[in-house]
Amino acid sequence: MKTLLKTLKTFQHQRTWMGPNQSWKLPQKSWMNPVMPLRFLPKSQPLTWKDIICLRNLSKLFLALLIYFIVFNHPEKQLNLPEPRELECLITNVYHEARGESYDGKVAVAKVTMNRVNHPKYPKTICGVVYQPKQFSWTIKPSKAKINSKEWYESAKASIEAYNMEEGLEATHYHNFTVSPKWNLQRVVVIGNHIFYI
């Protein structure tokens, strides 16, 4: 328990210590733009103890620690993050929709979710988009399978990357090769087992 509290205090310290005008560039090349690394926007407000307290159970606490290990293990990194509940919805959607896909495939699914949030025909929140009726198959028939921690970690990392993308994939729809929806949409790219459309 002492180790956990120490980790959370470090998490809080690093989150507060970083200034609001800092920015950070992802060092590796992005699959969306292999020439230019992604730019991450500054977070206007630091994550507070209130944010951590509102994490209602251990799975939420795990999410907070996961974010710490992904984002804040280097103090020079500064990312823009949604509210904890919104981030949880995004990660959960990526996990269920892109489980078994490559990292690029997970980023693409997360980006589609964010594109819908920014589209006038869809709800204005991440959770609203994710749980909009009959949009994502896993919300219709929820899986009871045990969570794979490696897949969850990759889904979290991909979600944070997609959330911070200013440009990239513009698709608002995708489907697996196993289905053939009758969409009158333009096919833009195939990534893994998913076909993406605008």
pLDDT tens track for 88-103: 899 999 999 999 999 9
d(CA 45, CA 54): 16
Crossing angle of helices 103-117/149-163, nearest 10°?
50
Q: In this structure, are strands 194-197 and 173-176 parallel, antiparallel, or unpaired?
A: antiparallel
CATH class of 47-197: mainly alpha
Give the residue among 100, 184, 176, 169 at the shortest CA–CA distance from 137. 176
24 band by pLDDT with thresholds 50, 70 and 90 = very low
d(CA 140, CA 93): 12
Span 129-137, average pLDDT: 94
3-state secondary structure of 141: coil
pTM score of the predicted model? 0.66
d(CA 55, CA 61): 6
More reliable by pLDDT, 140 or 120 = 120
Domain boundaries of the chain, sorted by first residue = 47-197
Amino acid 84: pLDDT: 83
Q: Give the total residue count for the chain.
A: 198
193 band by pLDDT with thresholds 50, 70 and 90 = very high
**Residue whose pair of structure tokens reads 């994502």 in the numeric block:** 136
